Amino acid sequence: MNLKLKIWRQAGRKTKGQFQTYSLEATPEMSFLEMLDVLNEKIIEDKGEPVAFEHDCREGICGSCSMVINGQAHGPMGMTTTCQLHMRHFKDGDTIVIEPFRARAFPVLKDLVVDRSSFDRIIQAGGYISVNTGQAPDGNSILVNQDDSKEAFDAAACIGCGACVAACPNASAMLFASAKVAHLAFLPQGKVERQKRVGRMVAQMDKEGFGNCSNTYACEAECPKGISVDNIAKMNREYFSSSVGSQKD
């Protein structure tokens, strides 16, 4: 299949970027990233600068790959990361537009690579349970019913890719942050610190320059792991009860 690729090229954080067009022959069995590998091999053959993009596991679990394909974070297929997308979902003669995730809190570093360290700082602000190694009681002394365990798992399945931010018209990180708040709030182990946790994580989100949530739910639609916006409602409830709680004391 013959493709026309319009790819965002940007040399560095401070330089201006622009689209560059390439034509490429691909096969339907290739993954999207393998298609880019082939393009890069070609560019290197011509002694050019290959397109920088982030990737590692290529199995949809590490959250490294991050690009907007034809206007959609991770491309056209639902519940699919870029690395799991295959070329058979495109047609011969297609033009494919490839851009980095765009958000104020995710500055572009080079081409399709962005800086998502703001996500790490949100977790550092409170996305954990404070227990030192060796302090834990026997595993079965904490019973968790299957429903809570399932809900916690569903939220914990977030891969930290940032597609939710890229998809959101306000570049809000609510889906990401709420997934962590919900994961820990569903579990008895996580309940002790719940008030402090949500307050700190929300404050960090604001500090990083993420936008507010206006309930458009574009995040859920483009999240490759099916993280539900119900988590946002849960986080809002947690936040509300924590601010009410802190008013009381």
Question: What residues numbered 85-124 form the site for another protein, per CB under 8 A?
Answer: 86, 88, 109-110, 113, 115-117, 119-120, 123-124
How far apart CA 61 and CA 78 sit, in angstroms, is 15
How far apart CA 190 and CA 155 sit, in angstroms, is 13
Asked if 8 is part of the footprint of another protein (rule: CB under 8 A), the reply reads no
The entry of another protein, ligand SF4, ligand FES, none near residue 69 (CB within 5 to 8 angstroms by kind) is none
Among 68, 69, 112, 159, binds another protein (CB under 8 A): 159
Per-state percent for the chain, helix, strand, coil, to nearest 5: 40, 15, 45
**Interacting span for ligand FES (CB under 6 A) from 57-65, 88-96, 179-187, 202-210:** 57-65
**Interacting span for another protein (CB under 8 A) from 53-61, 169-177, 209-217, 229-237:** 53-61
Taking residue 138's Cβ as centre, other Cβ atoms within 10 Å add up to 6
Q: How many separate helices (H) and strands (E) can be counted in the chain? A: 9, 7
Q: E strand or H helix at 73, and its extent?
A: strand 72-73
Which parts of 81-100 interact with ligand FES (CB under 6 A)?
Answer: 81-83
Q: How far is CA 108 from CA 19, 30, 54, 96, 174, in A?
A: 14, 27, 12, 20, 21
Asked if 116 is part of the footprint of ligand SF4 (rule: CB under 6 A), the reply reads no
**Interacting span for another protein (CB under 8 A) from 2-10, 186-194, 227-235, 240-248:** 186-194
Chain residues binding ligand FES by CB under 6 A are 55-58, 60-65, 81-83
